[in-house]
Copies of this chain bind each other. A is one copy, B any other.
Amino acid sequence: MAAEQDPEARAAARPLLTDLYQATMALGYWRAGRARDAAEFELFFRRCPFGGAFALAAGLRDCVRFLRAFRLRDADVQFLASVLPPDTDPAFFEHLRALDCSEVTVRALPEGSLAFPGVPLLQVSGPLLVVQLLETPLLCLVSYASLVATNAARLRLIAGPEKRLLEMGLRRAQGPDGGLTASTYSYLGGFDSSSNVLAGQLRGVPVAGTLAHSFVTSFSGSEVPPDPMLAPAAGEGPGVDLAAKAQVWLEQVCAHLGLGVQEPHPGERAAFVAYALAFPRAFQGLLDTYSVWRSGLPNFLAVALALGELGYRAVGVRLDSGDLLQQAQEIRKVFRAAAAQFQVPWLESVLIVVSNNIDEEALARLAQEGSEVNVIGIGTSVVTCPQQPSLGGVYKLVAVGGQPRMKLTEDPEKQTLPGSKAAFRLLGSDESRALAQLSLSRLSPEHRRLRSPAQYQVVLSERLQALVNSLCAGQSP
Which chain A residues have a beta carbon within 8 Å of chain B's beta carbons? 1-7, 9-14, 16-25, 27-34, 37, 39, 41, 62, 69, 73, 75-76, 79-80, 83, 85, 88, 128, 132, 135-137, 139-141, 143-145, 148, 168, 170-182, 195-198, 200-201, 207-220, 223-227, 271, 274-275, 277-279, 281-282, 288-292, 320-322, 380, 383-386, 388-390, 392-393, 395-397, 400, 403, 405-411, 414
Nearest chain-B residue to A202 (Cβ)? B16
User: A201 and B79: CB pair below 8 A?
Assistant: yes
What's the least CB distance linking A56 to chain B, in Å? Answer: 16
What's the least CB distance linking A402 to chain B, in Å? Answer: 12
26 contacts between A and B (CB under 8 A): A3-B12, A10-B10, A14-B176, A18-B197, A21-B195, A21-B209, A21-B212, A22-B212, A24-B275, A28-B215, A85-B281, A132-B212, A135-B171, A145-B175, A173-B174, A174-B181, A213-B396, A213-B409, A214-B397, A218-B397, A220-B400, A288-B409, A321-B409, A321-B414, A322-B410, A322-B411
Nearest chain-B residue to A418 (Cβ)? B217
Distance of A10 Cα from B65 Cα, bound (Å): 15
Distance of A395 Cα from B85 Cα, bound (Å): 47
What's the least CB distance linking A422 to chain B, in Å? Answer: 21
With a CB–CB cut-off of 8 A, which chain B residues contact A226?
Answer: 32-33
The verdict on A170 contacting B19 (CB below 8 Å), with A197-B79, A279-B27 known, is: yes
The verdict on A140 contacting B176 (CB below 8 Å), with A34-B223, A405-B217, A409-B290 known, is: yes
User: B32 and A83: CB pair below 8 A?
Assistant: no
Nearest chain-B residue to A197 (Cβ)? B16
With a CB–CB cut-off of 8 A, which chain B residues contact A215?
Answer: 25, 28-29, 132
Nearest chain-B residue to A208 (Cβ)? B20
User: B210 and A83: CB pair below 8 A?
Assistant: no
Distance of A18 Cα from B24 Cα, bound (Å): 39
Distance of A88 Cα from B140 Cα, bound (Å): 41
User: B218 and A405: CB pair below 8 A?
Assistant: yes
With a CB–CB cut-off of 8 A, which chain B residues contact A144?
Answer: 172-175, 178
User: B3 and A6: CB pair below 8 A?
Assistant: yes
User: A214 and B41: CB pair below 8 A?
Assistant: yes
What's the least CB distance linking A118 to chain B, in Å? Answer: 17
With a CB–CB cut-off of 8 A, which chain B residues contact A218?
Answer: 29, 34, 37, 39, 128, 397, 400, 405
What's the least CB distance linking A362 to chain B, in Å? Answer: 14
Q: Of B23, B135, B213, which is within 8 A of A197 by CB?
A: B23
What's the least CB distance linking A133 to chain B, in Å? Answer: 10
With a CB–CB cut-off of 8 A, which chain B residues contact A37?
Answer: 218
User: B10 and A274: CB pair below 8 A?
Assistant: no
Nearest chain-B residue to A270 (Cβ)? B32
User: A9 and B17: CB pair below 8 A?
Assistant: no
User: A196 and B279: CB pair below 8 A?
Assistant: no
What's the least CB distance linking A316 to chain B, in Å? Answer: 12
User: A21 and B210: CB pair below 8 A?
Assistant: yes
Distance of A20 Cα from B74 Cα, bound (Å): 39
Give 9 closest A-B pairs by Cβ, nearest first: A174-B178, A177-B177, A20-B209, A21-B209, A10-B10, A3-B9, A384-B389, A139-B171, A2-B5
